[in-house]
Chains A and B, each alone.
Chain A
Amino acid sequence: MSEHVHIPKVGTLVAVWAALIVLTATTAAVSFLELGEWNIVVALLIALLKASLVAWIFMAVRHAPTLTKLFCIAGLVWLSILIMITFSDYSSRSWTYQAKPWSHAKSAPATQP
């Protein structure tokens, strides 16, 4: 069965480990810089890069069957749906109703007696 088992090289694994440690030090160091809104962007981008390295090499997604890769992507799609719909709810709760011109087409706005 050895022909379809991909045995990773130790050098590759150690290189990924080193990259993850360096990225951890980088994200901690960058958090001390004053970048305004960009602090959160940089922190999340580095986290995304680290997670991708772990998934691609350590979790061997690169050698996984296409169907498994599709399932990984489906997980990310569902996660983004979860976050986007939650945010579309919370970010629109403070919106107030304003009558648009076409709202008055059929009935005049209610007036106080």
Chain B
Amino acid sequence: MADTVIHEPSAEATHLRHHFASVEQQMDASTLGMWTFLVTEVLFFGGMFAAYSVYRAMYPEAFASTSEWMDIKLGATNTAVLICSSLTMVLAVRAAQLNQRRDLIVNLLLTMFFGSVFLGIKAIEYHSKWVEHLVPGFNFQYEPAQYAHNAQILFFLYFCMTGMHALHMIVGLGLLTYLLIQSIRRVYTSYYFAPVEMIGLYWHFVDVVWIFLFPLLYLIGHRK
């Protein structure tokens, strides 16, 4: 008769804390908490997007003149790289849900690879901005001169927004390293994968921020 007993996974296996009624409730609480954090992040980046919109509305010609310094090819490549990293991230979450440890590790490594490629391309762009004397406060020189003052505002916003985004990517890479170590240590199972899913949400959010940065900084008004 003993083999007819359905074995519920133990609290140890599911990492169920005593203050939650069920694993499902615990997961819903984690998801809601993560989304609350992401909403604060939306407003954090939203402040910079609002500043960008206000100054673009104030100085449209000066802002349009800066677009020839933005490399659309590198920007589009980086967008594609981040979209690929989002795919591998969601595949990593799926692998964790299905208890496929090898797929989880491979997809985490791929996500970290794409994230690093993004930061590498961003570093190339920052370097060319430095060489072209477009870093406000350090070596800013701009032609045509009548736009120099207002164009400097755009490059200030450019470095703020892409810099904060890159910082989020670096934090994300750190979190992915943590997930990778825990995956290798066999911490995640199909009963317990909440950290993979939550860090996945964060990673996708950072992707979404870039999805808006790309058209605003690289695409609008680059035609003469």
Report A's interface with B, CB cutoff 8 A. Answer: 1-2, 4-5, 7-8, 10, 13-14, 16-17, 20-21, 24-25, 27-28, 31-32, 34, 39-40, 43-44, 46-47, 50-51, 54-55, 57-59, 64-65, 67-68, 71-72, 74-76, 78-79, 82-83, 86-87, 90-91
Report the Cα distance A23→B101, complex, angstroms: 32
B23 contacts across to A, CB distance below 8 A? 1
Check if B204 sits within 8 Å of A58, measured CB to CB.
yes
Q: Which of B120-128, B162-170, B177-185, B211-219 participates in binding chain A? A: B211-219
Question: Taking the nearest CB of chain A, how far is it from the CB of B75, in angstroms?
Answer: 8
Count A-B contacts at CB 8 Å: 138
A82 contacts across to B, CB distance below 8 A? 43, 46-47, 50
Q: From B209, which residue of chain A is reached at the shortest CB distance? A: A51
With beta carbons under 8 angstroms apart, the residue of B76, B94, B205, B219 that contacts A43 is B219
Q: Which of B32-40, B135-143, B146-154 participates in binding chain A? A: B32-40
Instruction: Report whether over half of chain A's contact residues are helix, strand or loop; otherwise say mixed.
Output: helix
User: Chain B contact residues (Cβ within 8 angstroms of A): what range?
Assistant: 35 or more
Report B's interface with A, CB cutoff 8 A. Answer: 9, 14, 23-24, 28, 31-32, 35-36, 38-39, 42-43, 46-47, 49-50, 53-54, 57-58, 72, 76, 79-80, 83-84, 86-87, 89-91, 94, 97-98, 190-191, 200-201, 204-205, 207-208, 211-212, 214-216, 219-223
Q: From B32, which residue of chain A is reached at the shortest CB distance? A: A68
- 15 inter-chain pairs at a CB distance below 8 angstroms, sorted by A residue, are A1-B23, A5-B190, A13-B91, A21-B83, A24-B79, A28-B76, A31-B215, A31-B220, A32-B223, A40-B220, A59-B204, A64-B35, A65-B31, A68-B31, A90-B54
